[in-house]
Amino acid sequence: MSENNSFLVFSGTKTRYLAEKICASLGCPLGNLVMTRFSDGEFVVSYEQSIRGKDVYLVQSTFPNSDNLMELLLMIDAAKRASARQIIAVVPYFGWARQDRKDKPRVSIGAKLVADLLSVAGIDRLMTMDLHADQIQGFFNVPVDHLYASGVLLPYVQSLHLEDLVIASPDVGGSKRANTYAKYLGCPLVLCNKTRARANVVDTMQIIGDVKGKNVIIVDDMVDTAGTITKAADIMKEAGAKSVRAIASHCVMSGPATERVEASALEEMVFTDSIPYTARCSKVKQISVADMFAETIKRVLNNESISSQYLI
C-alpha cells in the first residue's frame, strides 16, 4: 500500500498504539499530527503535513474520558478546513453506544448525539466495530462500515480445541450474538437471566441451560465493571462447568473490573485491542484488530467489497 499516496492515516492521543499497528499492516507511515494542550485542559489539533485532496483516515476510539471524543471532533474539523478530499473516522470502540434509546422518561440518547456531532464536524464515512446496538448505524446519513470482532475472536476460540463446548450469553440482550457464535461453532447455547438493582449492579442471576461437565465460553460485546460476567462465571462453575472463559469485543474494564476478573472463576478473559488496557491482570488477553481495520481501509480505497471479511 505504500505506493498509494492518495490517503493518510492519523491518530488521536490514546489510540496511537492501534493506529501504528494499522499503518504497519498497510505499509504506510503514521501521519504527523500535533495536539497542543493549554494549562486549563483545552487543546488544539494541527496537521503538520499537507492533506489537501487526500482521503484522511482518523483512528480514535471514543472511550472515556470525553477528551477522546473531543480530540476526534477537532481532528475532523481541522481536516475539513485543510481541504481533505474525504474524512473517514475509524472508531474501533464507539462510546456512548449504551444510550441508544429512551428506556425511561427524561433521559438523553447519547449515541444519537455523538452521531450528530461527528456528522456536523464533517465525516464522510465511519468505520467501527461491534456497536452496542446495531441500530446506531441508522443514526448516520453517511456510509457506516460495521465490522465484527468475531473475525479475530472466533479463530482464537477454535484454536483452543475445546471438547464439550458451550457458548453462553451473560444476559438475554446478548442472546443474538451468542447464538450466532453457537451456530457457527455447532455447539449448544446457554443464557443467563439477570436483574439489575441499578446501573453496573447485578441483583440476581439464573442459568437457562446445562453447563455441567462443559467448557463454557461467555460471549459479550463489552465488559465495563465485570460484575455481570464474573457473577455468571462463578455461578456456572458452581453448576458444574469444567471451565469458564469469556470473550468480549471491548475492554472497558473500569473501577473494580480487574480485581473482579482476577478473583473470579474465569480461566481467561479475551478482548480485542479496540481500547487500551493498562492495568495488570494475569487472566486478561488482548487480540489485535489492526489487520482487520487495515484490510477494510484497503478495500474502501480500492472500492472493493468488505463483506467477505465477516465470518459471521
Active site positions, annotated: 194
251, three cell numbers: 475492554
Q: Which of 280, 215, 277 is nearest to 242 (CA)?
A: 215
Pairing of strands 33-37, 43-47: antiparallel
CA 210/CA 191 separation, integer angstroms? 10
The Cα 80–Cα 152 span in angstroms is 33
Residue 222 near residue 61, CB atoms below 8 Å: no
- CA 267 from chain center: how many Å? 22
Give the residue among 141, 225, 155 at the shortest CA–CA distance from 185.
155
Distance, in Å, from the CA atom of 205 to the CA atom of 192, rounded to the nearest integer, reads 6
The cell numbers describing 219, all together, are 460471549
Distances (CA, A) of 203 to 30, 60, 230: 46, 35, 13
**What is the largest distance, in Å, between two alpha-carbon atoms of the chain?**
61
3-state SS class at 73: helix
